[in-house]
Amino acid sequence: MTTSEERASNSKISPPNTHGAVVLGGTFDRLHDGHRIFLKAAAELARDRIVVGVCDGAMLANKQYSELIQPIERRMQNVADYIKSIKPELQVQVEPITDPYGPSIVDENLEAIVVSKETLPGGISVNKKRADRGLSQLKIEVVDLLSEESTGDKLSSTTLRRLEAEQAEKLRQG
């Protein structure tokens, strides 16, 4: 018998416009191609509405170079602008989240949660919380952010912040 985690990770992503409303979350610092792939996949799955939780407060505490993370307003605006640029007909709801769940465990009209392979356990945890609250289970849609032919290096905001910190240090040292 397969576990729900195995089923989710083995399944292919659903066709476009499969779900009325989808949810996803992330820090979305320095919006880069990895974020765009993730957001585009989520937007394509959504027929009517996309809900994006953007990490803030305590959710940033353990991030490397957290002091260099862009302000929440800027990150939220960048996410909303990007989604609207690729699928303007979608209702876009972007909000700050200060815990791992945000709107995913209170919005009864959601149908799917979009995760990466790395954040799949979070999607499973969301469904457990939803079950505890008597809400429907979300279809877990897994977006592969690393293609098979890539070098295996995932573009990350942490790397971009580290490079920024190193550049600033070089400028200080003259």
**Per residue in 113-160, pLDDT tens?**
999 998 999 999 999 999 999 999 999 999 987 644 444 455 666 666
Decide if 45 contacts 18 (C-beta within 8 A): yes
CA dist., res. 168 & res. 171, Å (int): 5
CA dist., res. 118 & res. 161, Å (int): 20
CA angle 62, 67, 70 (to 5 degrees): 105
The whole-model pTM stands at 0.81
20-43 exposure pattern, b = at least 16 Cβ within 10 A, e = fewer: ebbbbbbbbbbbeebbebbbbbbb
Determine which of 2-11, 50-59, 134-143 has the lowest per-residue pLDDT on average. 2-11
3-state SS class at 51: strand
At 167 the pLDDT is: 75
The one-character DSSP state at 73 is H
Q: How confident is the model at residue 173 (pLDDT cuts 50, 70, 90)?
A: confident
Q: Please provide the average confidence, as pLDDT, over all residues in the chain.
A: 87
Query: pLDDT: is 147 or 28 the higher one?
Result: 28
